[in-house]
């Protein structure tokens, strides 16, 4: 099998990215988990809560928490000094994207795990009942998400 120029360049870039990320992981073994993926473009982490599975679970079957998803998300960011992070926010995820030494970095987590849902007021809306009766006015809470900077 013969690789073309693009495949050779992609392989070299992937190896460079693995080496760069490995250097940071060796420098931060206690706080930087292995990325979920490393490609020729960059590295991606999915930040989630860390539990001590060597400990005995509590009465509800939960293992002790070592670090929250928010702690993991922020600790990964701290490992890459000089990066200007851009927030990533969707209906379900929250995280950051940045570039470090030519490597695209992406760190995401479940929005529920790292952000706080806060009620900021209420709004009125009309709910249909039937065609003959029409609608009824109701009130529902309005929420916003407060996420780490």
**3-41 pLDDT, tens digit each:** 788 888 888 888 888 888 888 888 888 777 778 888 888
- Token look-up 């929420």 returns 143
Helix (H) or strand (E) holding 15: helix 5-27
What is the distance between the terminal CA atoms of the chain, rounded to a whole angstrom? 48
Distance separating alpha carbons of residues 135 and 132, to the nearest angstrom:
9
Confidence of residue 124 (pLDDT cuts 50, 70, 90): very high
Which of 41, 45, 36, 40 is CA-nearest to residue 15?
A: 40
What contacts 60, CB < 8 A, 6 or more positions away? none
Helix (H) or strand (E) holding 74: helix 69-78
Confidence of residue 87 (pLDDT cuts 50, 70, 90): very high
Residue-level pLDDT at 105: 92
Strand partners, 98: 105
Asked if 87 and 76 touch (Cβ cutoff 8 Å), the reply is: no
């Amino acid at each position: 099998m013969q690789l073309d120029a693009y495949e050779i360049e992609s392989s070299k870039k992937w190896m460079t990215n693995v080496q760069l990320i490995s250097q940071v992981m060796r420098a931060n073994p206690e706080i930087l988990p292995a990325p979920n993926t490393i490609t020729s473009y960059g590295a991606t982490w999915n930040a989630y809560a860390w539990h001590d599975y060597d400990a005995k679970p509590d009465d509800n079957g939960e293992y002790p928490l070592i670090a929250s998803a928010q702690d993991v998300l922020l600790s990964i960011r701290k490992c890459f000094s000089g990066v200007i992070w851009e927030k990533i926010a969707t209906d379900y995820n929250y995280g950051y994207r940045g570039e470090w030494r030519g490597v695209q970095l992406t760190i995401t987590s479940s929005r529920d795990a790292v952000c706080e849902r806060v009620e900021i007021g209420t709004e009125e809306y009309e709910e249909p009942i039937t065609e003959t009766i029409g609608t009824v006015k109701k009130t529902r809470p309005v929420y916003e998400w407060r996420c780490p900077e």
